[in-house]
Amino acid sequence: DWTMGAYREEAIQRIRDQVGSGRVICALSGGVDSSVAAVLIHEAIGDQLTCVYVDHGLMRKGESEQVVGMFREHYNLPLIHADESDLFLGKLEGVSDPETKRKIIGGLFIEVFEKHAKEIGGADFLAQGTLYPDVIESVSFSGGPSVTIKSHHNVGGLPERMNMQLVEPLRELFKDEVRALGRELGLPDSFIGRHPFPGPGLAIRCPGEITREKLDILREADAVYIDQIRKHGLYDEIWQAFVAILPVRTVGVMGDGRTYDFACALRAVTSVDGMTADYYPFSHDFLGETATRIINEVPGINRVTYDITSKPPGTIEWE
Ligand code: XMP
């Protein structure tokens, strides 16, 4: 009978058979899929694997430290923390078109990853946390009429350019199975249950021009919002929740003074696979309390709105 423990052993054997004594490189994003893939491959081939965490300066509050810290402390796997935030934020300066943002980030990601791969002397294999739904989606959509809503950020295009074979140990699994495998491999529950986070990060939650000031405000507001959701025991009921900072300042009054600060939007949705989604029906009390906390605790924001758009017609992210 089938168990995750048995699957783990089989998967490890397959990785060893495929890789032999070759070198493998993996882009670690901190998401569940790439993390589980990295830990599994590390278990199979140890230090033949090197992971690169590309820090584009668009992560949430404390996130890079958490991700890198967890991998260094618990797994002792070879990990390069590539802090490229100046490069990414520099190239994004003055850019407000959503697709242009995505293309800049995707292109730089490949460039930076290649640079670090070269620095460690190259590799024979590229590891990816591709899941079964990713595999079928790309097959069933090929050939048919297609409309690109958003260019997704992933490491597609890298293997051809870098002349590497792919190692994709999660190709047969669905998301819930990847989570189960992650638990089997000892990844903490808090990590496995994390909401999805998009490759372009906070860039697509900051419509209009991205500035360091806006990113800092957004990080603080997002941290308060997620704290509220956790305190109310709602985190696991929600597929994804985040704050978007709006490209508009509004007038407010605080104490005996006038304020002129940014407005933000809270987003929270339920979903099964991210393809469709419903907005989460928070209580008015929760929303009111959260708005008060954000305005009191986050300098730079004086107005909070709740996004009640479902998908379709909206998308989950704002860009
Ligand atoms: P949308 O906004 O298209 O998002 O409704 C659906 C899901 O996909 C995530 N998302 C991304 N994930 N790279 C990713 O890895 C991306 O470029 C990207 N864009 C959106 C989004 O967070 C949601 O879970």
| Residue nearest atom 10 in ligand 1 by C-alpha distance | 198
In this predicted structure, what is the pLDDT of residue 155?
A: 64
Is the same domain home to 29 and 159?
yes
- Report the alpha-carbon distance of residue 243 to residue 219 in Å, rounded: 8
Task: State if residue 129 touches ligand 1 by the CB under 6 angstroms criterion.
Answer: no
Query: What pLDDT digit, counting tens, does each position of 78-88 carry?
Result: 999 999 999 99
Would you state the structure tokens that stand for residue 25, as one six-digit string?
């490189």
Is residue 181 domain-shared with residue 69, that is, in the same domain?
yes
Q: Which long-range contacts (CB under 8 A, 24 or more apart) does 191-196 make?
A: 191/32, 191/35, 191/70, 192/32, 193/235, 193/236, 194/31, 194/32, 195/235, 195/238, 195/239, 195/240, 195/241, 195/242, 196/31, 196/239, 196/240, 196/274
Cβ of 241 less than 6 Å from ligand 1: no
Same domain, 151 and 247: no
Residues within the annotated binding site for ATP? 29-35
In this structure, the answer to whether residues 158 and 245 fall within a common structural domain is no
Distance 198 CA to ligand 1 centre (A): 5
Res 54 pLDDT > 60: yes
> Which residues form the domain of 79?
4-192
- Report whether residue 270 contacts ligand 1, using a CB cutoff of 6 Å: no
> 52 and 182 share a domain?
yes
Given this model, what pLDDT does residue 132 score?
86
In this structure, is residue 315 part of a structural domain? no
175 in contact with ligand 1, CB cutoff 6 A: no
Number of domains present in the structure of the chain: 2
Strands of 92-182 (E only): list them: 125-127, 165-167
Q: What is the pLDDT of residue 160?
A: 73
* Confidence at residue 298, expressed as pLDDT on a 0 to 100 scale: 98
Same domain? For 8 and 68 the reply is yes
Mutation pick for ligand 1 pocket among 152, 154, 242 (CB with most ligand atoms within 8 Å): 152
For 218, the token pair is: 């957004």
Q: Is the CB of 207 under 6 A from ligand 1?
A: no
Write the pLDDT tens digit of every residue in 264-277. 999 999 999 899 99
ipTM for the predicted complex comes to: 0.99
Give yes or no for residue 145 having a pLDDT over 80.
Answer: no
Q: What is the pTM of this model?
A: 0.92
CATH code where residue 129 lies: 3.40.50.620
Q: Are residues 146 and 13 in the same domain?
A: yes
Q: Which amino acid is at 249?
A: R
| Ligand 1 close to Cβ of residue 84 (< 6 A) | no
Does the pLDDT value for residue 201 go beyond 50? Answer: yes
Show which of 158, 192, 226 is a domain's final residue.
192
Q: Report residue 147: phi and psi, to 5°.
A: -120, 125
**Protein residue with least CA distance to atom 3, ligand 1:** 315
d(CA 24, CA 50): 6
Ligand 1 atom closest to Cα of 196? 24
Same domain, 238 and 282: yes
Test site for ligand 1: of 316, 318, 319, most ligand atoms within 8 A of the Cβ: 316
- 39 CB-near residues (< 8 Å, 6+ apart): 75, 77, 182, 185, 186, 187
270 contacts: CB under 8 Å, gap ≥ 6? 237, 238, 239, 277, 278, 280
pLDDT tens digit sequence for 103-141: 999 999 999 999 998 999 999 999 999 998 877 766 544
Say whether both 242 and 131 belong to one domain.
Answer: no
Q: Identify the pLDDT of residue 143.
A: 46
Q: What is the pLDDT of residue 142?
A: 46
Q: How far are the Cα atoms of 90, 96, 99, 132, 214 from residue 102, in angstroms, in the given order?
A: 14, 10, 5, 24, 18
Ligand 1 near 319 CB (within 6 A): no
| Whether residue 163 is found in the same domain as residue 220 | no
Rounded distance between C-alpha atoms, residue 294 and residue 297, angstroms: 5
Q: Which residue is closest in CA terms to ligand 1's atom 11?
A: 198
**Residue indicated by tokens 């423990």:** 5
DSSP 8-state secondary structure symbol assigned to residue 277: B
What is the reported pLDDT for 161?
75
Q: Is residue 202 part of a domain?
A: no
Q: Which atom of ligand 1 is nearest to the CA of 275?
A: 6
Check pocket membership of 194 for ligand 1, CB cut-off 6 A. Answer: no
Q: 196 CB less than 6 Å from ligand 1?
A: yes
Is there a single domain that holds both residue 133 and residue 183? Answer: yes
Q: What is the pLDDT of residue 178?
A: 95
- The reply to whether 188 falls in a domain is yes
Listed residue (62, 72, 85, 88) closest to 28, CA to CA: 72
Structural domain includes residue 311? no
Compute the distance between CA of residue 161 and CA of residue 222 in angstroms, rounded to an integer: 37
Amino acid 190: pLDDT: 86
pLDDT at 147: 66
Residue 164 — very low, low, confident or very high, per pLDDT cuts 50/70/90? confident
Indicate if ligand 1 lies below 6 Å from the C-beta of 33: no
Listed in sequence order, the DSSP H helices in 193-244 are: 212-231
Give yes or no for a contact between 236 and 193, defined as CB atoms under 8 angstroms apart.
yes
In angstroms, what is the span from residue 165 Cα to ligand 1's centroid? 26
> Residue ranges for the binding site?
29-35
Note the pLDDT of residue 137: 64
Q: Which two tokens stand for residue 222?
A: 């997002």
37 lies in the same domain as 179: yes
